[in-house]
Amino acid sequence: MNCTRAQENFPNLLDPRTPADAHADDRAHLASCPDCQREYASLARTLSALDRLPAAKPSPRLRAGFYAMLEQEKNSAASVQAAVLRHRRAARVSLWRWILAPLAAGALALGGFFAGTRYAPVPAPAIDPATKRELAELRAKVDGVGQLVGYTFLQQRSANERLQGVLTTLDQKNPDQKILANLVGALALDPSVNVRLSALDALYPHAGEQLVRTGVLASLPREQNPLVQVAMIDFIVAARDRNATPELERMSHNESIDRSVRDAAKRAIAQL
Amino acid sequence: MIATLTEINVQTRPSVVSLRAPTPVDTATDAISDHELMLAVRDGELDALGELFERYHGPLYGFLAKLTGHHAAAEDIAQTVFQRMLKYRHTYRDDGSFTAWMYHLARRCAADHFRKTNSAPAPTDPSDLQNHADEAPDASDRAARRDDHDLLHLALNRLDRDAREVLLLSRFQELSFAEIANILECSAGAAKVRAHRALKELRDIYLALQREGPARN
Ligand SMILES: [Zn+2]
Question: Per-residue pLDDT for B216 more than 50?
Answer: no
Q: In chain B, which residue's Cα lies nearest the Cα of A13?
A: B196
Please give the distance of CA A83 from its chain centroid, rounded to a whole number. Answer: 15
User: What's the pLDDT score for residue B143?
Assistant: 66
What distance in Å separates the CA atoms of residue A225 and residue A114, rounded to the nearest whole number? 13
**Which tens digits make up the pLDDT trace of B80-126?**
999 999 999 999 998 888 999 999 999 999 999 988 876 555 545 44
Across A227-237, average pLDDT:
88
- Residue A154: left if φ>0, alpha if ψ -120 to 50, beta else—which one? alpha
In angstroms, the separation between the Cα of residue B87 and the nearest Cα of chain A is: 9
Q: Which domains does chain B have, with CATH numbers?
A: 28-132 (1.10.1740.10), 144-217 (1.10.10.10)
Contact list, A258 vs chain B (CB under 8 Å): 16
Question: Per-residue pLDDT for A249 more than 70?
Answer: yes
HSE-up (13 A, CA, CB side) for residue A76: 22
Is the Cβ–Cβ distance between B149 and B126 less than 8 Å? yes
* CA separation, residue A169 to residues A79, A199, B91 (Å): 24, 9, 30
What distance in Å separates the CA atoms of residue A229 and residue A252, rounded to the nearest whole number? 12
**Which tens digits make up the pLDDT trace of A128-158?**
666 667 666 766 666 555 455 666 666 666 6
For residue A52, the CA-to-ligand 1 centroid distance in Å is 28
Poorest-pLDDT segment among A33-37, A82-86, A194-198, B200-204? A82-86
What number of other Cβ atoms are within 10 A of residue A11's Cβ? 21
User: What's the pLDDT score for residue B136?
Assistant: 44
In angstroms, the separation between the Cα of residue A147 and the nearest Cα of chain B is: 27
**Which tens digits make up the pLDDT trace of A206-220?**
888 888 888 899 889
Contact list, B171 vs chain A (CB under 8 Å): 47, 50-51
Q: Is B18 on the interface with A (CB under 8 A)?
A: yes
What distance in Å separates the CA atoms of residue A139 and residue A147, rounded to the nearest whole number? 8
Q: Which residues lie below 8 Å from residue B177, measured CB to CB, with a gap of 6+?
A: A15, A17, B170, B188, B191, B192
Domain ranges for chain A, please list them.
1-35, 83-174
For residue A40, the CA-to-ligand 1 centroid distance in Å is 10
* CA separation, residue B42 to residues A82, A141, B45 (Å): 11, 45, 7
- DSSP codes of every residue in B148-202: HHHHHHHHHHHS-HHHHHHHHHHHHS---HHHHHHHHTS-HHHHHHHHHHHHHHH
Contact list, B17 vs chain A (CB under 8 Å): 68, 71-72, 230, 260, 263-264
**Which tens digits make up the pLDDT trace of A38-69?**
999 999 999 999 988 888 889 888 998 998 89
What distance in Å separates the CA atoms of residue A8 and residue A16, rounded to the nearest whole number? 16
Q: In chain B, which residue's Cα lies nearest the Cα of A108?
A: B16
Q: Choose among A168, A173, A136: nearest CA to A153.
A: A168
User: What's the pLDDT score for residue B16?
Assistant: 28
Across A81-106, average pLDDT:
46
What distance in Å separates the CA atoms of residue A61 and residue A149, rounded to the nearest whole number? 44
In angstroms, the separation between the Cα of residue A139 and the nearest Cα of chain B is: 27
Question: Per-residue pLDDT for A221 more than 90?
Answer: no
**What is the maximum span of chain A, computed from C-alpha positions, in angstroms?**
98
Which B positions 54-73 lie with beta carbon below 8 A of chain A? 57-59, 61-62, 65-66, 71
Per-residue DSSP letter, B31: T
Return the H-helix or E-strand segment holding B68.
helix B48-68
Per-residue DSSP letter, B135: -
What distance in Å separates the CA atoms of residue B173 and residue B101, rounded to the nearest whole number? 13
What distance in Å separates the CA atoms of residue A190 and residue A199, rounded to the nearest whole number? 9
Q: Which residues lie below 8 Å from residue B108, measured CB to CB, with a gap of 6+?
A: B84
Poorest-pLDDT segment among A135-139, B133-137, B183-187? B133-137
Whether residues A67 and B23 touch (CB distance < 8 A) is answered with yes
* CA separation, residue A136 to residues A112, A129, A185, A195 (Å): 22, 10, 11, 21
Q: Is A4 on the interface with B (CB under 8 A)?
A: no
Please give the distance of CA B63 from its chain centroid, rounded to a whole number. Answer: 4
Is the Cβ–Cβ distance between B80 and B87 less than 8 Å? no
User: What's the pLDDT score for residue B138?
Assistant: 58
Radius of gyration of chain A (CA): 31
Name the residue facing A70 among B46, B153, B170 (closest C-beta).
B46
Which A positions 109-138 lie with beta carbon below 8 A of chain B? 117, 120-121
Which A positions 25-44 lie with beta carbon below 8 A of chain B? 42-43
Q: Choose among A194, A198, A261: nearest CA to A234.
A: A261
Q: Choose among B150, B144, B162, B147: nearest CA to B201.
A: B162
Contact list, B148 vs chain A (CB under 8 Å): 49
- Residue from B1, B2, B6, B11 whose CB has the most chain A CBs within 10 Å, to mutate: B11
Contact list, B144 vs chain A (CB under 8 Å): none
pLDDT confidence tier of residue B38, bands split at 50, 70 and 90: very high
For residue A5, the CA-to-ligand 1 centroid distance in Å is 8
Amino acid A62 reads: L
Interface confidence, given as ipTM, is 0.75
Q: Is A7 on the interface with B (CB under 8 A)?
A: no
Whether residues B1 and A226 touch (CB distance < 8 A) is answered with no
